[in-house]
Chain A
Amino acid sequence: MAEQPVIQTRQLTKSYGRHRGIEDVTFDVTRGEVFGFLGPNGAGKTTTIRLLMDLIRPTAGAAWIFGLDVRAQGLEVRRRVGYLPGELRLYEGMRSEDLLRYLGHLRGGVGWAEVKRLADRLGADLDRRIGELSSGNKQKVGLIQALMHRPDLLILDEPTAGLDPLIQHEIHALLSEAVADGRSVFLSSHILPEVEALCHRVGIIREGRLVAVEEIDALKARALRRLEIQFATAVPPAAFANLAGVQDVSTQDSVVRCTVVGSLDAVIKAAARFEVVNVVSHEPGLEEIFLAYYGGTDAP
C-alpha cells in the first residue's frame, strides 16, 4: 500500500459569489516533501491554504491532512500543523514572548527551549512589543509560532514576501533544516527563485485552477529562456532559423536574440560556428514559466 499523503485534496472548490475562488483543485503532497504552490497574486493560493486550515469551508470537494478530514477532524489536524498566514497580523500591544506563550498555551503548552532555539536561530528579540517590530521581525515571530511545536507539516503562505534578502535567506535556511528533520512543507509563493531554492515539486495555480503539478526540474526544462548572443561579426539570420525549441529569433548586426524552450544545446551548437563574444542568458522567471504553460497571448 502506498504511503499516506500528507496533504490530499480532491476537486476542492470555493466560490465567492462574483469573486474568483478556486475550482476543482486536486493534488497530493507526500511525506518529507517541500511542495511549492506557485501563482500570481489573486490566483487562489491563499484560498486553498485557508481551506486546508478550516478557516473557510469548501463549496465542493474535500481535503485531508495526514488522512484526516480537515473539516470533521480539524482539531487533530491543527495539532500537527504549523501555519503562517499570508497576511500576518499579530496582537500589536503584546510582547513577542507573551504572544508566543499564549499561542503555545492554546496548544496545551510547548517546550520553551524550542522557542528559545528558534529565536536565537533567527535573531529575534522576544522582549520587544510587537507593535515596535519591523515587518521582517514580525515575520520571525510568525515563523516561530508556526515551528515551535515541531509540527509534522508546515503550511506557509508567502513566507518571505516583502522581506529583505538577508531575512529571506535566513528563513530558507530554517525551512531547509525543518525538512532535513523529516517535516513536510507546503508553501505558496509568487517568486520563482524561492520555490526553486526550496521545493521538490510545484503546483501552478492560475485563476483558481491548478494548471500543472511538476517536479521543479521538469518545470524549468519547460520554461522559456531568453538568450542574447553577441558575435564578433554580423551573422546570417538563416543560421538560427528552424532550430529545435528556438523561437522569436531576431538578428541585429552582430547580436542575435531568441527565446528557447528547454535545452540550449541546439542554439549553442549553431552559435559555435561563429566567433562568440558574449552570451547572456536570463534565468527563467515566473513569467517565463507561465509563458511556457499558457502561450504568449493570455499570460498573467
Chain B
Amino acid sequence: MLRNTFLKTLRDRRRSLLWWALGLVGLVAITVGFWPAIEESGQELNRLVEDLPPALQSLAGGDLDLTSPAGYLNGRVFAFLAPILFLVFGIAFGSRTVAGEEQAGTLELVLARPVPRWRIVAEKFAALAVATGFLGAVLWASLALGAAPVGLDIGSSALAAATLMVVLLGLVFGALALFIGSLTGKRGLALGLTTTVAVAMYLLDLYASISEAVEPFRGLSPFYYYDAAVPLRNGVDPLHAAFLVVVTVFLAGFSLVAFERRDVGV
C-alpha cells in the first residue's frame, strides 16, 4: 500500500472510508426498514406532498409518486441525503489531499523526491475517484441487497444508474476542491469556496425548477445534470453523465497545471 502516492492516499483514508461505508449502510438500513410502513400509509403522504409548494416538492423528490419504490428511494436517498454525503466526502477529500498536506508541511518530503508534481496531483485525484467510487459501490450493494427482503421492488440497474450519478456529482465538487487547493495551497479556502459554490449551484437548480426567470441558467448547475433525468426511473442519461465527467476531468487537469506552476508551502 506504500508503492506510490495513489495507494498511500487511499491507505491514509482506510479508516475514514470504513466509517463512511458503515454510515451509508446504516442510512440504507433505516431507509429500507421504513419502507413497509410507508407503503401502507402511502396515499396520505402523497396528498401531503401535493399540498406543498413546488420548491419543497422538489426537495422531497420531485414529481415521483412517493409510494412507488423509485419515488420513495429518490425522496429518501437520492434527492437530498446521498448527494449531500457524497459532496461532503468529495469536498473534504479534495481540499485535504493536496492543500491540506501542503499546509501541514508533509508534502515537502514527497516533492523532494524525483517525482513530477503533476503526477502527485494526478495520483491523488485518482485516489479521490476510487474512494468515491468505492462508497458508491457500497451504497449500491447495500440498497440492492436490502431492498428485496422488504419488498422494495427496484431494479439493480436503476440503482446502479442513480449511484453512478451520485458518485459523478461528488467527483465534480471533489475535483473543484482539489483544483482550488492545488491553485492556492489553502485548505480552508478550498473547503469553504467549494461548499459555497455547491450551495449556490443547488439553489440555482432549485430556483430554476420553479422560476421561469432563472430557468435558462439551469444548465450551469451540476445538480441539474445530476437529477433532471431521474436516473432511478430512466437509467443514466449519457449526455448528463458525460457533462459531469467532462467537468471533473477538466478540473482535475487544471489542478495538475496549477500545482506544477507555483511556489509550494510558502
Contacts and interface: CB of A to CB of B under 8 A. Distances in A.
Interface of A: 16, 50, 53, 55-57, 75-76, 78-79, 81, 83, 85, 87-91, 93, 98, 101-103, 105-108, 145
Q: Is the interface of B mostly helix, strand, loop or mixed?
A: loop
Contact of B110 (A75, A81, A87, A106): A106
Contacts of B113: 78, 103, 106-107
B109 A98 contact: no
Given A16-B266, A55-B111, A76-B114, A106 B4 contact: yes
B8 A102 contact: yes
A75 B116 contact: yes
Interface string B1-17: 01111001000100000
A79 B110 CA distance: 12
A93 B5 CA distance: 16
B12 A56 contact: no
Contacts of A145: 109
Interface in B109-134: 109-116
Interface stretch (B33-41, B70-78, B100-108, B156-164): B100-108
A56 B5 CA distance: 21
A93 B12 contact: yes
Contacts of A98: 2
A75 B263 CA distance: 16
Given A78-B112, A106-B115, A91 B106 contact: yes
Given A55-B263, A55-B265, A56-B264, A101 B2 contact: yes
20 contacts: A50-B265, A53-B111, A53-B112, A55-B263, A56-B264, A81-B112, A83-B112, A85-B105, A89-B106, A89-B108, A91-B12, A93-B12, A101-B2, A103-B110, A103-B113, A105-B3, A106-B115, A107-B113, A108-B114, A145-B109
Given A57-B263, A75-B114, A90 B2 contact: no
A56 to B, nearest CB: 4
B118 to A, nearest CB: 11
Interface string B72-110: 000000000000000000000000000000001110111
B194 to A, nearest CB: 24
A135 to B, nearest CB: 14
Nearest to B111: A55
Contacts of A103: 109-110, 113
Given A90-B109, A105-B2, A106-B5, 13 more contacts: A53-B112, A55-B108, A55-B111, A55-B264, A56-B263, A75-B114, A78-B114, A79-B114, A83-B112, A98-B2, A102-B2, A103-B113, A106-B114
Given A102-B8, A103-B113, A90 B263 contact: no
Contact of B109 (A75, A85, A93): A85
A91 B12 CA distance: 10
A89 B105 contact: yes
Given A75-B114, A89-B105, A105 B12 contact: no
A245 B106 CA distance: 50
A103 B108 CA distance: 11
A205 B76 CA distance: 65
Contacts of B264: 55-56
A106 B262 CA distance: 21
B71 to A, nearest CB: 44
Contacts of A87: 105
A161 to B, nearest CB: 15
Contacts of A83: 109, 112
Nearest to B103: A89
Contacts of B104: 89
Interface in B5-31: 5, 8, 12
Residue among B104, B109, B116 with most chain A CB within 10 A: B109
B111 A107 contact: no
Contacts of A81: 112
Residue among A57, A106, A108 with most chain B CB within 10 A: A106
A57 B260 CA distance: 11
A90 B112 contact: no
Contacts of A88: 105
Nearest to B110: A106
CB-based closest 6 A-B pairs? A89-B105, A106-B113, A56-B263, A79-B114, A102-B2, A83-B112
A105 B2 CA distance: 7
A91 B96 CA distance: 13
B127 to A, nearest CB: 14
Contact of A105 (B4, B106, B116, B262): B4
